[in-house]
Amino acid sequence: MDQWQQGETIDLAITDLSSSGDGLGRWQERVVFVPDTVPGDTVRARLVQAKPTFGRAKVRQLLSPSPDRVRAACIVADKCGGCQWQSVRYPAQLVAKQQQVTDALTRIGGFEAPTVLPILAADAPLGYRNKATYPLGRSPEGQVKAGYFRQGSHKLVNLNQCPVQDERLNPMLAEVKRDIQDRGWSIYNETKHQGRLRHLALRIGRRTGQQLLTLVSTAPNLKDIELQAQEWRDRYPELVGVCVNLNPDKTNAIFGAETLAIDGVPYIEEIFAGLRFYIHATTFFQVNTEQAEQILQIIVDELQLSGSETLIDAYCGVGTLTLPLAQKAKRCLGLEVQPEAVAQGLANAGLNGIDNVEFRAGDVGELLPLAAASLADAVDIVVLDPPRKGCDRTVLDALIELHPPRIVYMSCDPATLARDLKVLREEGGYTLAKAQPADFFPQTPHVECVAFLVA
């Protein structure tokens, strides 16, 4: 291969999309990552990083556009780090996500020709998010800004609407920024650790239409917050609550531990899988309600529960999967590290009159063997829905020791899914029956997947 160096200009044919969202091309047997490109593009690009086997480049000129290149729905899509694939035709996004799952299972998991079912496409590739959390900032002129950070930076791209969030939230964004400006509330500066407001969080029940507005602040003493909260509730008929979440720490975490209800209630009610759920400002709940329901139905269809099964739902959150599955099983036990989520899960069970379910709070790796030992019946199924980092090794060891006949593993990261499935196959003797990808996050490179394992 010829030598190459940073600053060099090269012509590339973009052939694939990476899991990071960048387009992929190949130049003299080296892989080159190029942001803001679409498979089928031919580009002239400048190398910004030149390693022996790969490089990174920025587009200087679009020589020939791909037939899968479309006009982005958002006017700041090329600047905002929220959505990377708005210029990619939706069917091409699905192809890339399907390939992500297959590649991860084969290359990381070591599975030969795994059964990966066709990806479950979203009916609504835009306007699907039931939650939006916007960092706050100020322009050089002192105007309040809310938006997302430019990819790879802490430069805030100001937004007045967002095409992937539920359109019913759009009117609030510009108006709430104006109100914050008029109130004179200070905006948090993370470098100096000064100021009050850090984030604006909006949440909506897709089925109920109920809305919740939460300000994340370093302190509760926002002048006239009660008056402003009442104004917002008067202005927005579907706004059932205004909250302030307290996060005084030097941290990248969005929310702090305490949330104060300023006006109304600190939660929305939503209908999911025919059940009613209380969802608070900080509650984890899938951002794509419709896709989450569809993947739940796939799990139900695959398990074919008879009403005699004992099931453990690890990383159960507020019972999004636990409660619908409990309706069809003999007994369900939900395990969750966050006590607040467990309390909400219990409340949701009571709200729906489901009495064959129990929730326990604590580390899943520690709870799983204790919970299994405490149950009168053998555990038939374990459902896993861990965070992006996947399962801790203690959880995998506990699963291998417990050895339930069936495991359902739901994941938002194909790489950590494949890593964990490899352990369960090699050390636990499990077989991967099938994997079902689902597009929960259109316009982004993220893909959800549920894997079905049998002992």
How many angstroms separate the CA atoms of 60 and 423, rounded?
44
Q: CB within 8 A of 232, min separation 6: which ones? A: 176, 179, 213, 239, 242, 263
How many angstroms separate the CA atoms of 100 and 93, rounded?
11
Q: Order the strands of the 258-264 sheet from edge to edge.
A: 156-158, 144-149, 131-138, 197-204, 211-217, 239-246, 258-264
3-state secondary structure of 342: helix
Here the tokens at position 373 are: 């030992």
**Strand 9-17 to 42-50 pairing:** antiparallel
Q: CB within 8 A of 78, min separation 6: which ones? A: 36, 72
Rg of the Cα atoms in the chain: 24
Which residue of the set 74, 162, 391, 412 is catalytic?
412
Q: Which residue has the tokens 């942001």?
A: 35
Q: How far is CA 298 from the centre of its chain?
A: 19
90-103 helix and 414-426 helix, angle to the nearest 10 degrees: 30
136 vs 86, 171, 177, 197, 369, CA distance in Å?
Answer: 24, 17, 9, 7, 43
How many angstroms separate the CA atoms of 157 and 137, rounded?
10
How many Å is the maximal CA-CA distance in the chain? 69
For this structure, is 412 an active site residue?
yes
444 closest CA partner among 149, 59, 70, 88: 88
The amino acid at 58 = K
How many angstroms separate the CA atoms of 255 and 396, rounded?
29
How many angstroms separate the CA atoms of 317 and 273, rounded?
16
242 sits in which H/E element: strand 239-246
Active site residues: 412
